[in-house]
Amino acid sequence: MKAIRIYEFGGPDVLRYEDIPEPQPGPGEILIRVIAAGVNPIDWKIRSGYMPGLPLPMIMGLDVTGIVEAVGQGETSFQPGDEIFAKVSIGQGGYAEYTVTSSTQAAKKPRSIGFVESAAIPTAGLAAWQSLFDIAGLESGQSVLIHGAAGGVGTFAVQFAKWKGAHVIGTASSKNAEFLRSIGSDEVIDYRNQRFEEIVNNLDVVLDTIGGDTFEKSWKVLKPGGFLVSTVASIPEGMPQKYGVRAKTLMTQADGRELAQIAAIIDEQKIKPIVTTVLPLADAKKAHEMSESRHTRGKIVLRVAEDPR
């Protein structure tokens, strides 16, 4: 099968498009014929060596959607022919024509959208869901500030928060303001020309996907007991106590049950994945370069095979 692998950590040039053996499912696993693979910032961070010690060579990619080709011993949750999507473990490889994953990491894909859109969901969708609901406990009537609202995690977070009934504020460049309002932002702050810390305060939740100064300035806009969740920054010791708030760094977990919940909401037409770029698998290098620029809207997806429907 064709796959994108790395033999060393480094820039986009270390990505190799090559033929490798097709994997086989073990007990409790499913073999997926991949139709599309999502691209996430964690992909190029892994490629760059942010997580040293990972075994090489490695097939890249975490997000897949496709069709169950075979099931391992004892697997009863899925059957060959099922259309699924999943967040696979590091090294199992989403950038490939076939991959295997534990059945607990997969769910049946949304019926109302195609494979390409479904591939955009797993990591970013789970990151937004787990940040807002599992960690911060966002509820209807509360206020949430989402930094990087036009990005992959941000576009899901805006829609999830609006679906929940929260007041949603997003930071983004002015060119994305109208887009963010169209998917649920009640307010949009232009981070290039406005200081969010001078505009909002007394918030229930802040979701930070940017880090740096944005993260540092977010403490002061929370109400006492509010929650700061960051997908990129570590929580400095003593800082939550200083401001009288709670805080946590997200470590996104693969969770088939939560993917099934997200699929149901999509099929109710409450939210939708935002895919702005679709490239062939062989163009993974270009996809990484685009993702690494940090200025893409929504998600980048690699098309691995033609949609069979």
Q: Identify the domain containing residue 194 by its residue range.
A: 136-249
Q: Is residue 207 part of a domain?
A: yes
The predicted structure's pLDDT at residue 178? 96
Same domain, 6 and 116: yes
Q: Is residue 262 part of a domain?
A: no
The predicted structure's pLDDT at residue 167? 98
Q: Is residue 128 part of a domain?
A: no
Same domain, 202 and 244: yes
Q: Is residue 281 part of a domain?
A: yes
Q: Is residue 259 part of a domain?
A: no
Contacts of 35 (CB under 8 A, 6+ apart): 65, 66, 67, 115, 116, 119, 303, 304, 305, 306, 307, 308
Same domain, 78 and 183: no
Helix (H, G, I), strand (E, B) or coil at 271: coil
Alpha helices in the chain (DSSP H): 41-48, 115-119, 122-129, 152-164, 177-183, 196-199, 212-218, 239-243, 256-267, 284-292
Q: Is residue 105 part of a domain?
A: yes
The domain spanning residue 237 has which CATH number? 3.40.50.720
Tell me the two tokens of residue 203.
């918030």
pLDDT tens digits for 131-188? 999 999 999 999 999 999 999 999 999 999 999 999 999 999 999 999 999 999 999 9
Q: Is residue 267 part of a domain?
A: no
The predicted structure's pLDDT at residue 271? 92
CA distances from 182 to 155, 186, 239, 248 (A): 11, 9, 35, 29
Same domain, 110 and 163: no
Same domain, 9 and 115: yes
Q: Is residue 258 part of a domain?
A: no
pTM value is: 0.95
Q: Cα-atom radius of gyration of the chain, to the nearest Å?
A: 19
The domain spanning residue 98 has which CATH number? 3.90.180.10
Low-confidence ranges of the chain (pLDDT < 70): 309
Distance CA 37, CA 65 (A): 6
Same domain, 76 and 184: no
Same domain, 8 and 86: yes
The predicted structure's pLDDT at residue 88? 97
Per the structure, the count of domains in the chain is 2
Q: Of 38, 35, 37, 11, which is closest to residue 298 (Cα–Cα)?
A: 38
Pairing mode, strands 16-19 and 246-249 = unpaired
